[in-house]
Amino acid sequence: MDYRKFLGKTESVVLPYLGSGTVDTATRRLRVTPPVAPGWWRFELRGRDATAREPAGPEGLDTLPRVRGHLWGTRLVREGAVAEPLELMPEEQPPVLAPVSARRWHDGTLLFDGVEFEGEAEDLARRALEEGQPLSSVKGVGAPLRAAFGYVLLEVASRASGIRFVPAEARTRVLGIAERGRAEAEAYLHTLLREREAHQRALVARRELERHAARVVQPRERVESEYLSHRPRTRPDDMSRAEAALHRAGARLLNHRQLGGNQLEVTYAFMEERFISIVDANTLQVVDAGLCLAGADSEVTLESLPSVIREAIDTGVLVVTRHG
């Protein structure tokens, strides 16, 4: 097969662009050159590049898996209290807690599809929000709507207290928050804050021990350490190695940034959430997972970290310490 013929072939396709610098078809990922505003575009595909030619309407959504849930901000809350980001939202924002549908794109992204018919449950839930009441006395409200209600309460309490949270942290708690109301949301956020503060104190103590140990290393070890710390920080293939490690674990690399000390800050998506971790650029050993691991960060690698995150989410013990 003459690969040059394939690389020279031009194809016109309508695809969604989300602003990441790439677009996905059913079979491959292409670079967008030059980048354009997020939206639906008609792209000219040539080799590994996609060039936006003109804005277009959505195409091919009917053939994609449909996902239903209730709206919280720009997220769709579905069964299991999973709150997934929605992309390409309409200019006119649907009402909070509205029943919405989305389509699962080839890369796993949820694309907004439309607002569905509302029933009495959505109106009752909105009224409870307006009156500052929990859902304990409201009947006929399904689990996804209750979860969306709980996330709204958490968001309100988070803005008031300045304590951040990510939905994956609260996934196993959010139904109880919806049932018991604002006070429960505030109590949970302060629990998160205490755990993060304890993590930070332990991290400071551990780094102090490491600095003390570094002061007593043998001269040769010190020279080797200084050499490692002053050589070029990252190699050109660091991003591809990190991307491959995350891909094997079922996660998706979003971005990476070079840090001092031969370290990489890696931003990635996993289980409908965004995480930031710091790893050694050579070994991809975790330096700071960006979540509470009880001081065991160095025992995991970038590839094994997603399985640790999954267990923490499933058991309701996830506490995120690094936010973007």
Count of structural domains within the chain: 3
**pLDDT higher than 90, residue 16:** yes
In terms of domains, do 48 and 86 share one? no
Q: Domain for residue 321, yes or no?
A: no
Most confident among 53-57, 197-201, 214-218, 240-244 (mean pLDDT): 53-57
Q: How many CA atoms lie within 13 A of 61 on its CB side?
A: 17
Q: Tell whether 88 and 37 lie within a shared domain.
A: no
Whether residue 169 sits in one domain with residue 87:
yes
Structural domain that includes position 75: 65-186
Bin 231: left if φ > 0, else alpha if -120 < ψ < 50, else beta. Answer: beta
Residue 1 pLDDT > 70, yes or no? no
Residues 82 and 134 in one domain: yes
74 in a structural domain = yes
Mean pLDDT of 99-106: 97
* Co-location of 182 and 69 in the same domain: yes
Same domain for 164 and 81?
Answer: yes
> Does residue 151 register a pLDDT over 90?
yes
Could you give the residue ranges of the DSSP H alpha helices within the chain? 3-8, 120-130, 143-161, 167-170, 174-180, 182-215, 219-230, 238-248, 305-314
Does the pLDDT of residue 26 top 90, yes or no?
Answer: yes
Top-confidence residue, 98 or 235: 98
User: Within a domain: residue 22?
Assistant: yes
Whether 8 and 85 map to the same domain: the answer is no
pLDDT of residue 217: 58
321 neighbors 199 (Cβ within 8 angstroms): yes
Helix (H, G, I), strand (E, B) or coil at 11: strand
76 with 167, same domain: the answer is: yes
Residue 41 and residue 77 share a domain: no
Mean pLDDT of 178-182: 97
How confident is the model over 41-55, as pLDDT tens digits? 999 999 999 999 999
Pairing, β 110-115 against β 82-87:
parallel
Q: What is the average pLDDT value for the chain, to the nearest integer?
A: 89
Q: Answer whether residue 200 is part of any domain.
A: no
Last residue of a domain, one of 186, 209, 229: 186
Say if 90 falls within a structural domain: yes
Residue 193 is assigned to a structural domain of this protein: no
Considering the domain architecture, whether residues 73 and 165 belong to the same structural domain is answered as yes
Global confidence as pTM: 0.84
